[in-house]
Structure 1
Amino acid sequence: MTRRLLALHGVLVLAFLCLPIAVVIPMSFSSASSLEFPPPGLSLRWYDSFFGDARWVAALVNSALVALASSTAALLLGGIAAYGLVRGTFRGRPLIEGIFIAPLVVPSVIVAVALYIAFAQAGLLGTMPGLVVAHTVLGVPYVVLVMSVAIRSFDPRIEQVALSLGASTATMVRRVLLPNLLPSVFAAWIFAFITSFDEVIVTHFIAGRFDTVPKRMFNELVLQVNPTITAIATLLIAVSFVAIALILWLLRRGGVRLAALT
């Protein structure tokens, strides 16, 4: 009986969390000229409004470029850090692990203010490189988290055998370690990509004149309630669902359990 009540409670909470999605998606296909639920008719006018507006398309391109660059950088830096943290034996390792994971715990606005002060002194405010660096900082913790679990689950004796047979460290990583961890590598990259693509608070502080899709959505909602936002939100929801499904599939294929990430 207790399990059934817990299951019912979980279903009700999940339904409550999904309620906004059930409202936004139908409204994105509405034929009304303003936000109206339920929609009086079906239309793709708001999707046409999004893809037909050069400003939204430019914001989409900026989001994609920043997410692509920052997620790739986060994968490289976070992957190396994860390997050092898992295989290394040095003092202060728990502290360093905590520092890497800190951006997941610290509120985004605090990270944004810290980056704003640092970038102001370095002359990176309002620049594309500065925005990429800021998003890389946000993506590295996810990469470290996923890759640490993947590397920890990989038998180190296989690496030792490769090294004892004459392979260099670089060759061992390229021909032994990475092929076995490839699903987790892709999952970590997708985590970092989605984190960058959806980021709004840090972007608002750092981006300056550069628009991304989340930043422009925020600015549009401040000025007026534009129904085009519902179409964009639906597209982001769809991308997020696809990304989550792909991450789950990759982690399962890589033998990484979700419980190990928490």
Structure 2
Amino acid sequence: MKTLKFLKNIVFLVCFLMLQPAFAQFGKASKAELPDSYDFDYIYKLKMTHKKGDITFDYYLSKDEEYFGFDSPEMNKGNNDSKIFMVMDAELQIAAMFMEMMDKKVVQKTKLKASDFKSDDDMSDYTFTEIDSKTINGYECEGYVSENDEVKITFYITDDVPVSFSKAFGSNVKNMPKGFNGAIVEKYAENGLMMEMTYVDKKKSKNNMTMECISLEETEFSIDTTKYGSMLSAFGG
């Protein structure tokens, strides 16, 4: 859907990742050697509210590394005997899906392409306006409005945090859509998290949605990759 594709790019622009874990599109299986562990420092919980219902994502962020992980209740819904956890690793250029099923731990690695993090969208007809700041979850956030004749996006970002998605996505202004205000990207290149966003489709209200950070907490969660085998080895292939 065009709307979701656009939203994916908007979220990326404000140092946040893509909404949909549709990793099959990124490329073929990868033989890259994983680090012994993926270690995370913070959990960033995001709630997306849409006409069709709410979805909550848990994102695991590292202060220094070029990767992040995430899962969602929806990813494991209806699978009482299985668990799925995703890691996006920019340094290795892979998406790794860690799965627990039938008492087996397996990992599927998929190649990422540089083009997956670039946008061909033209935003030259959008206006970008800074609005009043506000406090969200105890963090002082600066507000911005991006708008044209079809949509209006209001978002709030804070740099009062030690983590962001910029290491994993890259903060290169060349990756931004044409016409986007690159100063915003540069400002939040080191630390920056979107804490709230409202998307309004002026022509199709059914596409309206909001996203809000409902918590940001420290964690010591790690994935021990040495305990995960390939699909073939785990099931006797």
TM-score norm. by structure 1 comes to 0.20
Which is strand-richer, 1 or 2?
2
Structure with greater Cα Rg: 1
Using the size of structure 2 for normalisation, the TM-score is 0.22
Comparing both chains, which one has the higher relative contact order based on Cα–Cα distances under 8 Å and sequence gaps of 6 or more?
1
